[in-house]
Amino acid sequence: MSNQSKQENSLTMNIVTDIEAWQVIRNNLGNKTIGFVPTMGNLHEGHLQLCQRAKRENEVAIISIFINPTQFNEQQDFATYPRTIEQDAKLLSDHQIDYLFAPEVNQMYPDQYEIQVTETMISRELEGAHRPGHFNGMLTVVLKLLNLIKATRAYFGEKDYQQWLLVKKMVTALFISTDIIACETVRASDQLAFSSRNQRLNPTQRETAAYFPKILKQTETIEKIIATLQSHGFKVDYIAEKWGRRLGAVWLDDVRLIDNISTTPQLTD
């Protein structure tokens, strides 16, 4: 994907890969309200709904695609992460997104990741306990992106609930003025949450995967939920109740899925 501005490839969206070029564009946007969606690309319906909301609620919508090496636990996982930038750019352009920001790793990490953001409490639990260092990498890159984009609002999916909590905590602690907005998890018709990882499931695994949200929702004890998941062939990393949610991470062979639901009763009229 080539650099900067509306491109030869007939997209109606501006693509910016160079940080200095982005900073000039950002200065020119002045006081316009900016909605920002950070992603690692390989966009699906979940991302697109975040993009639509960013577009609806702000004057300018900016999406980033940056496959962040520092938040992967396995080098292999980083190396094989789907890179679908051409297809993603087309989708974003079709959704009238104004800017795609897609920087290179060496531009984002001029310090070789010697400077890191660490949260010392909730980042150690659940996902953090199973993926050591993951949240350091995630928080560090999100801070860099928030500093570069200087958005009015940034949109995060609730599927990564612990990520959202940590980003919110970071912006409060570091006095960053972007509003961090949680958006409800987008699900396929069989309830499986959209995720780039779903593509790695073969048809049989994909069918089994749909049991994960359904079992997570059962009004049962955590022990019973774990046992039911195991009886369907899932390997369970954790199921836990915290922060008004029931959260879980499971494996189907080598594919890891996460999800969570609210445990606070929803008020109805």
Positions marked active-site: 47
Residue type, 154: A
CB of 142 or CB of 252, closer to ligand PAF: 142
Q: Which distant-in-sequence residues (6+ apart) come within 8 Å of 204 by Cβ?
A: none
CA distance 137 to 3: 26
Contact (CB, 8 A) for 233 and 210: no
Q: Residues of 34-71 as b/e, b for ≥16 C-beta within 10 angstroms?
A: bbbbbbbbbbbebbbbbbbbbbeebebbbbbbbbbbbb
CB of 68 or CB of 215, closer to ligand PAF: 68
CB of 102 or CB of 142, closer to ligand PAF: 142
CA distance 226 to 222: 6
- Residues that bind ligand PAF in the complex, under the rule CB under 6 A: 38-40, 68, 71, 138, 141-142, 160, 163
